[in-house]
Amino acid sequence: MFKVIGTRLNQGYRTSPYPNQPVRLSSRFRGLPEINAACDPAIVRRCAGLCPQEAIAAEKRTIDLGRCTFCGACAQVEDGAFVRFSGIFEMGAARREDLIVSGALPDLASHAKAHFKKLFGRSLQLRQVSAGGCNACEADTNVLNTPFFDLSRFGIDFVASPRHADGIHVTGPITRNMRTALLDTYAAVPAPKVVIASGCCAISGGPFYGSEDIIGDLNSLIPVDLYIPGCPPHPLTTLHALLAFFK
């Protein structure tokens, strides 16, 4: 016991001050893109042509965050003349169309469904479903359970059984081999329940977009309530989305 107390005194308080205090991420982090609407059309077309995800609509001058892997290729064209990536990690959305951006995202808290806040505002239990992903999204989600982020202090936990859950947190492009397992897990969660699509794979298929071996769009199988873009989403992106939407 004394050893535990001594360690605590020695290490001090290590939990992140977010959301009580703002957090600034490394300059290498690629967050919400900043788009220059007045950019030369030729440069915009070059950016669109370089995008491996076909996430850039040159005519509309928008970026689909549901497809974007934040590879940064577009930001290298003419030193970011059309696109620059900011350090803003707050990128959750309640509607799929909100992820197609030309500027700022709509305020997530104002788009959250009121009955979700009423039902899950005090306690939210989620069952994580890895539907064929590379494990990057799962790894960055697991980080939220460490003492630094301490997700449980907000009343949010990941549970082992879908029967103990309020909803599912889905990652991966939803391979055809995982389709039945995913639907069975969803069916096992008691109503009312929520569905979260985390990462571009679950939202649109990500790097596997167009493959016949994946579903690639979670919303085509079950109704999605919350979208968290990224490849993978930064832990703070996930934390912000959960707090804004449910708390």
Domain 109-246 classified CATH 3.40.50.12280?
yes
Report the chain's mean pLDDT, rounded to a whole number: 92
Q: What is the DSSP letter of 106?
A: P
Residue % of the chain over a pLDDT of 70: 98
Q: Is 91 helix (H, G, I), strand (E, B) or coil?
A: coil
Distances (CA, A) of 165 to 106, 123, 129, 189: 28, 10, 12, 6
Check whether 7 has a pLDDT greater than 90. no
Domain boundaries, the chain: 109-246
pLDDT digits (tens, 9 = 90+) for 92-127: 999 999 999 998 898 888 877 777 778 787 899 999
For residues 27 and 31, give the distance between their C-alpha atoms in angstroms, rounded to a whole number: 10
For residues 151 and 145, give the distance between their C-alpha atoms in angstroms, rounded to a whole number: 6
Q: What is the pTM of this model?
A: 0.92
Cβ proximity of 102 and 37 under 8 Å: yes
